[in-house]
Structure 1
């Protein structure tokens, strides 16, 4: 398997979210919502330092202002009419702050035979995490559109990915959204599956995963930084 190389210093991976706080649990209990705060086993995204460094080199935003700008976007809130609640302007770092992983684009959910869980349990959890990752991209798109003040601003097609595993079975999924009757609906579709004992299947699957990570450290990162640059220029490097 020497053909497959999965590594890039711009990419960071770790657990995506801390356990929900007591206040979060209490609110969920009050709302009666069956959907929990996503907590994937592993999250892969762009390292905070990589975003700051590329903002510095491509958008002429010095490192200190770049860090402050990203933190301001996350710490300051706005009221979203469609959700009737205040939210961060852009929550690009949905992980524990110490991990410093921004703009997640790939999550991993694994289940074990020993726990009695099935792979569709992992798929259901990945569906929520994938939708959350897409929401971050849509929020960034909205900010960039507002900053450009142009209806001709090039639109992007937000994508995120997930890996679901159980025993020898491994699945790679793509997450996307479509708008129907002014309602955004999130979907996921299988890209590649494999069974661990079959070497050829595993190799092809790993090559697909490698392509996703290269996309995340390449085209995806470039698009994120370009849109952040528009927002930063509009805000003068701050909010």
Structure 2
């Protein structure tokens, strides 16, 4: 820009004596420079607004609008065709998602990160459920229909049932012999003290976005305190052997249909009755000859497998210690070395899977599992029951394997007893005790589980009654159950020397 010069009078140039200022004043607006028709003024407008006096100078008249250079405007960024279509697709997806998302699953929807690493606006921050620890039970909750399908379709195919009715009378009598065992008054006071400590420890687990482990930990400490003689192991989150799961009989039917790929289009639209008449009257040489093998038996042999069942991984597994089982066998007249080696030999040869662990944890014949869910993770006790149903069937299968081993090798007499196992399912402070047993229908084994007792973790009276029943289960497992198992194992060991 040239420097500003003073006039001959020594003053700064004004609008009247500066041609550059006059040209700048007559510069039309950008909207008027786009078309010439807008710059042309009508006669009425000229009459009402006469031209200023300085417009008469020929040297100062503005050039035609067509010769005036266009001002530089800000260029609009043009996206490529791929980016443009991608943005439109993202907008359509977001619009469809906002219309189809209900209030129930809105919390889960907003926690999904957008494509391309874009940040969420502050109004759509993650909820507390997204900050849970990375455990197996702290993943975002699935649709409840998935768990219902798993129970009433998948578990049903394996004949594993979560029963809403009480067990049969003979099974109920055996259960009562366990949960109605005598308990001394001194022991009840000890259990009451444990229950009081349990309620106090459970309160922090209900405050804030807690993990599943936070609500299961008080149960673990309560079980450890109930095990006064240290007869049990309580490993957490161990992977069980898949071979313990029930076998699923998957039937299939083979349906063979005639090959109609060579049928003419005219014949395909003929009604079935007319098609039969055409086939019988037409010459056999005019149509293709199709030979169909005789239909086989519609019901094929069932294929055995258990891959459709989830392999158990309980939050807590309670079973007899290896040393407890060895000491019980020693009491039956077997040396300690022989008892230790015999249990390990049966486990290695897969003749008797007395330990469900794949990590060689010294635990034998588990009798109780704990499957817990937390409030803040959005999980339900329904899922915990599904998991406990498979774990309970595996514990029952261990006892059935022992019965089969005894019948195959031992020659002594033994009164066979119905197998029993137990599980604790939780959803926050809601705690349930279940029993697992087997029944038979048309010669096929059914794995059942029925509810025994429930309580709320913050109600002391209910917790005391609940832990008294659990303490009786532990007492039965360390005495009567361990003794029955030792009798069978001792008979098999003597018969196979």
TM-score (norm. length: structure 1): 0.83
CA offset digits 1:70-128 (Å, max 9, x no partner): 1111111xxxxxxxxxxx21100112444201100000000012221100111110000
Q: Please, which of 312, 326, 335 is the counterpart of residue 62 of structure 1?
A: 335
Please tell me the root mean square deviation across aligned C-alpha atoms, in Å.
2.0
Q: Distance in 2 between matches of 1:32 and 1:198?
A: 40
Highest RCO, 1 vs 2 (Cα 8 Å, sep ≥ 6): 1
Match in the other structure for 1:173: 434
Match in the other structure for 1:106: 368
Match in the other structure for 1:6: 226
Q: Distance in 2 between matches of 1:98 and 1:232?
A: 22
Please state how far the C-alpha of 1:174 moved relative to its aligned partner: 0.4
Assess if the C-alpha contact under 8 Å between 2:328 and 2:482 holds in 1: no
Query: Is the deviation greater in 91-100 or in 201-210?
Result: 91-100
Please state how far the C-alpha of 1:19 moved relative to its aligned partner: 7.8
Please state how far the C-alpha of 1:148 moved relative to its aligned partner: 3.0
Q: Distance in 2 between matches of 1:126 and 1:104?
A: 13
Q: Distance in 2 between matches of 1:216 and 1:73?
A: 21
Report the structure number with the largest CA radius of gyration.
Answer: 2
Please state how far the C-alpha of 1:2 moved relative to its aligned partner: 3.2
Match in the other structure for 2:418: 157
Q: Secondary structure at the match of 1:115?
A: coil
1:141 aligns with 2:403: yes
Match in the other structure for 1:235: 496
Please state how far the C-alpha of 1:67 moved relative to its aligned partner: 1.4
Q: Secondary structure at the match of 2:331?
A: helix
CA offset digits 1:187-206 (Å, max 9, x no partner): 00111100122221111111
Match in the other structure for 1:129: 391
In the superposition, relative to structure 1, how do residues 20 and 104 fare at CA in structure 2: closer, same or farther (>3 Å)?
A: closer
In the superposition, relative to structure 1, how do residues 63 and 180 fare at CA in structure 2: closer, same or farther (>3 Å)?
A: same
Unpaired stretches in structure 2, ≥5 consecutive residues: 1-187, 192-224, 243-304
Assess if the C-alpha contact under 8 Å between 1:141 and 1:156 holds in 2: no
Q: Tell me how many residue pairs correspond in the alignment.
A: 214
In the superposition, relative to structure 1, how do residues 32 and 188 fare at CA in structure 2: closer, same or farther (>3 Å)?
A: closer
Match in the other structure for 1:45: 319
* Greater share of strand: 1
Q: Distance in 1 between matches of 2:306 and 2:398?
A: 25
Q: Distance in 1 between matches of 2:339 and 2:240?
A: 29
In the superposition, relative to structure 1, how do residues 19 and 186 fare at CA in structure 2: closer, same or farther (>3 Å)?
A: closer
In the superposition, relative to structure 1, how do residues 91 and 218 fare at CA in structure 2: closer, same or farther (>3 Å)?
A: same
Please state how far the C-alpha of 1:34 moved relative to its aligned partner: 3.1
Q: Distance in 2 between matches of 1:144 and 1:66?
A: 16
Q: Distance in 1 between matches of 2:232 and 2:306?
A: 36
Q: Please, which of 221, 232, 239 is the counterpart of residue 18 of structure 1?
A: 239
Assess if the C-alpha contact under 8 Å between 2:371 and 2:426 holds in 1: yes
In the superposition, relative to structure 1, how do residues 19 and 188 fare at CA in structure 2: closer, same or farther (>3 Å)?
A: closer
In the superposition, relative to structure 1, how do residues 158 and 193 fare at CA in structure 2: closer, same or farther (>3 Å)?
A: same
Q: Distance in 2 between matches of 1:199 and 1:218?
A: 28
Q: Distance in 1 between matches of 2:366 and 2:240?
A: 18
Assess if the C-alpha contact under 8 Å between 2:438 and 2:447 holds in 1: yes
CA offset digits 1:51-81 (Å, max 9, x no partner): 11221122x21111111111111111xxxxx
Unpaired stretches in structure 1, ≥5 consecutive residues: 22-30, 77-87
TM-score (norm. length: structure 2): 0.41
Assess if the C-alpha contact under 8 Å between 2:424 and 2:434 holds in 1: yes
